[in-house]
Structure 1
Amino acid sequence: MSASTSRNNDRYFNQLHKIKYNMLPEYDLFIFSLSRSDSELSSVSVALAKEWSKTHRVFYIDKPYSVKDVIDERKVPGLKKRLKAILVGSNIYDEKKFPQSSFIQVTPRISLPINFLPQGAAYNFLNRYNNFVVNEVIKKIIKDYDVKNYVFINSFYPVNTPVISHKIRLKPLANIYQSFDMISEEPYIAKHGIKAEFDAIMQCDIAIATSTGLCDIYSKKVDKKIHFLSNGVDYEVFANAINKPYPMPKEMKGLKGPIIIYTGHYSNLRIDYELLKKITDVFKEGSILFVGTYDKNDIDREHLSQIKNLYFIGPKPIESLPAYLCHSNAAIIPYKKNNLTKGVYPLKMNEYLAAGIPTVSTDFSDDIFLFEDLIYLSSSHEDFIDNIKIALEEEPQKKLEDRMQRAEENSWRKRIQKLEEIIEDFLKINT
């Protein structure tokens, strides 16, 4: 085992020595997610891992690369670094370091691309291999790190290892399944995910969902409590948009003001492109800036690249986003109102609040009304345009303190504390 691993173990045991949970067992965290730990997008599971690793030892098991992934991403630097782990199962551990914490990134061996298959014997047979790949790496973690107790979290990847297999000798103290999107509305994962998610919720010990909409839907389908655990924010990072004098990012230099910004993934599933086009037309003297990943087919189909004051600059590390926010005049969430967004509690909402930026949003879900006193909610395209005008004229300090205070109340540390309470309540009954 490496020196860094040994130091990580020492740090873990020193920290746990100071933390006593009413004599309940101390435990490590195993997080297995649809989102890989080096994803370009802000990720719920990565945020939980970063925050939880301040007090616990955390192993973040990345979604296995399939044969197709390896071919498609063969030139991506992150993949090249992992090839030995993917192809032969060596060098599977990497310590991901952050200013106040670190967790162990774990790369499983290569898996099979089977999503194209219909439900049936062939899919089920091949999926057993994909589950085997993850089970094997879990066994290896337990052995290599001398794990005594752990909690397992499957974060929105129900088709693979929704709960720990009976073939793994050391059982988790609790199996947790987390849902953070309406799986039936996500075309790729819905094919096998709808049934798999239902099964995952039925099999797990603790089920959590990131929106009240998802909680309501699943509470009607299963005889089990669905815990509401909404998305949080890395408050210290995004409050820097106010607290630090960031230089203007190079992509923003030369942009005409006012600058209206959106951060995160954008696709036809969520973004109301008709509304977006109206925004670019009304505010043609300004600039509309999109920071994040996107589907190029959407851009081409909607002819968005032809709009002169609309800028797509791709994804940026989460630590860089405050610089873009602090040099923008207003933020927008121009979501459609549909079955997908009905179950969304947007990660970016608390990020915008922490940055203190005036925000305009459609009223796409019940949860967005939790912020109606701090943002500008819009029920129509006309309302949205009018609210942008109001936001751009807002006094800089008008709601700044209230926005930042709400964001701090919604920090990832607060979310972890609530989840720990849920786990503790379960353990008190079941240990």
Structure 2
Amino acid sequence: MHRKKEIKDIVVLSTADWDNPFWTNKQHVTLELAKRGHRVLYIESLGLRRPSVNKKDLSRIFRRLIKAVKAPRKVRDNIWVWSPISIPFNNYAFVRKLNKFILTTALNFWCWRLGFSNKTLWTYNPLTTRFLKLKDFIYTVYHCVDEIKAQPGMPVDILQEAEEDLVRNADINFVTSLTLLKTRKQWSNEVYYFSNVADYNHFSKALEEDTAIPADLAEIAEPRIGFIGAISGYKVNFSLVEEIAIAHPEWSIVMIGDVGEGDPNTDVSKLTQHNNIHLIGARLYQDLPGYLKGFTATLLPNNLNEYTASMFPMKFFEYLAAGKPVVSVDLPSLCDVKDYVRIGHTPEEFIAALEDITAGKRISVEQCQELAQQYTYQSRTEKMFNLINEKRNESRDRT
């Protein structure tokens, strides 16, 4: 019966807070759903990782408690953001049951207050079936964008069991890397690959004449080699960044982002001892095109591990949309776009690629744009809904 109902109101169960300075799939997809006319209730991160006793985590818990007593807030046309109370110790069964009762009860209340009916669930949370009842929704989409259990501090066994349950029971599953496709296909035939994309219209502003390079970046000497993203020990290869800095002290390596995002134990002391490595903190999303405009080259200096083997870096298409050449480690997800990125299999190859770029030997801006324009949130969301509608029609026909 549910499958005959039109997809209208959508609950997005996210793993990121709406106001995080680095927007990911969760916020961008929510925007696209709203633009399509859907009303969306965006549920902020429920805290999968057990919190540590540090200033960063304690501050986040305090802010979350303040938010939790408030009603969902309207942030855009058709978008409400809600920060429910959630106990973060999900490795305990009684905590998961308590969270499920609290979240389900509160969600039903707020959906009633907002007038949501025939709700569809679009979830990014692998613990979804431990928080919500899928039968309460007319349709369930699981959008798997990361190997979350490979992040530090995660309840691995619980995540593995719960995610398999979610993949098997969701109506459709989308994944953003070929590695995720391979592993999730073992649990369901309804798994489909759509790579990560970028907000092309936003990041291409870096090429506009009236986009200014921010003053704090302009003060840093050129050439500037840039990185934008979470500066976390499990993601970024600090030793590689340090080798670049040592090989070329005349280069300025600029890293924009919060230190320790997702990994509070991150130690950046080996970076801060170099005068030509600049950790300038997070910057507002609307200001990022200006920072990209001031970069000569951009970096994907990731560690090679279980987490990065399963990710497709959003930054790749953001860099290209800004017209910037990219140098990356050999990430599996970039295998189909190697004509648009320089791959460094060793630190020496990585540095040599940067030397070529700083000498003017680089992919053209036109080539960067050619690829980036094909990978936008609007086009990907349209393709996803085309597939959803196709599958739902098939289901109706069988019925």
TM-score > 0.5, shorter chain as reference: yes
1:316 matched to 2:283? The reply is: yes
Q: What are structure 1's unaligned runs of at least 5 residues?
A: 1-22, 118-122
Which of 159, 170, 174 is matched with 2:139 structurally? 174
Which of 383, 387, 390 is matched with 1:422 structurally? 387
Q: Report the AA paired with residue 369 of structure 1.
A: C
Cα RMSD (Å) = 2.8
Q: CA deviation at 1:77?
A: 9.8
- 8 A Cα contact 2:5 2:118, kept in partner: no
Which of 178, 201, 216 is matched with 1:236 structurally? 201
- 8 A Cα contact 1:131 1:160, kept in partner: no
Q: CA deviation at 1:74?
A: 9.7
User: 5 Å matches for 1:149-298?
Assistant: 149-155=118-124, 157-161=125-129, 164-165=132-133, 171-191=136-156, 192-219=158-185, 221-295=186-260, 297-298=265-266
- 8 A Cα contact 1:30 1:60, kept in partner: yes
1:93 matched to 2:59? The reply is: no
Helix, strand or coil for the counterpart of 1:285? coil
User: Structure 1 residues 65, 72: CA separation in 2 closer, same or farther (over 3 Å shift)?
Assistant: farther
User: 5 Å matches for 1:138-157?
Assistant: 138-155=107-124, 157=125
- 8 A Cα contact 2:242 2:270, kept in partner: no
Instruction: Please name the residue that 1:385 is paired with.
Output: 351
- 8 A Cα contact 1:209 1:226, kept in partner: yes
Q: CA deviation at 1:338?
A: 2.3
User: 5 Å matches for 1:51-66?
Assistant: 51-55=32-36, 56-64=38-46
Q: CA deviation at 1:216?
A: 0.9
Q: CA deviation at 1:321?
A: 0.8
Instruction: Please name the residue that 1:404 is paired with.
Output: 369
Helix, strand or coil for the counterpart of 1:325? helix
1:125 matched to 2:94? The reply is: yes
How big is each residue's C-alpha offset from its partner over 1:286-316, in whole Å with a ceiling of 9 and x where there is no partner?
210000122274334x522111110111112
Q: CA deviation at 1:83?
A: 5.0
How big is each residue's C-alpha offset from its partner over 1:97-120, in whole Å with a ceiling of 9 and x where there is no partner?
3xxx55111222x222314x4xxx
Q: Report the AA paired with residue 338 of structure 2.
A: E
Q: TM-score, normalised by structure 1?
A: 0.82
- 8 A Cα contact 2:100 2:130, kept in partner: no
- 8 A Cα contact 2:100 2:131, kept in partner: no
Instruction: Please name the residue that 2:86 is paired with.
Output: 111
Q: TM-score, normalised by structure 2?
A: 0.88
Q: Aligned partners of 1:374 and 1:206: how far apart in 2?
A: 31
- 8 A Cα contact 1:127 1:160, kept in partner: no
Instruction: Please name the residue that 2:21 is paired with.
Output: 40
- 8 A Cα contact 1:51 1:413, kept in partner: yes
Q: CA deviation at 1:163?
A: 7.7
Q: Aligned partners of 2:66 and 2:230: how far apart in 1?
A: 30
- 8 A Cα contact 1:288 1:309, kept in partner: yes
Q: CA deviation at 1:416?
A: 0.6
How big is each residue's C-alpha offset from its partner over 1:358-377, in whole Å with a ceiling of 9 and x where there is no partner?
11111121x21222112212
- 8 A Cα contact 1:202 1:222, kept in partner: yes
- 8 A Cα contact 1:174 1:205, kept in partner: yes
Helix, strand or coil for the counterpart of 2:109? helix
User: Structure 1 residues 226, 286: CA separation in 2 closer, same or farther (over 3 Å shift)?
Assistant: same
> After TM superposition, which residue ranges in structure 1, 4 or more long, deviate above 3 angstroms?
64-80, 82-85, 160-164, 296-300
Q: Report the AA paired with residue 59 of structure 1.
A: L
Q: CA deviation at 1:69?
A: 9.6
Q: Aligned partners of 2:54 and 2:72: how far apart in 1?
A: 22
- 8 A Cα contact 1:330 1:359, kept in partner: yes
Query: Percent identity of the aligned residues?
Result: 23
Q: Report the AA paired with residue 88 of structure 2.
A: P
Q: Aligned partners of 1:43 and 1:30: how far apart in 2?
A: 17
User: Structure 1 residues 138, 356: CA separation in 2 closer, same or farther (over 3 Å shift)?
Assistant: same
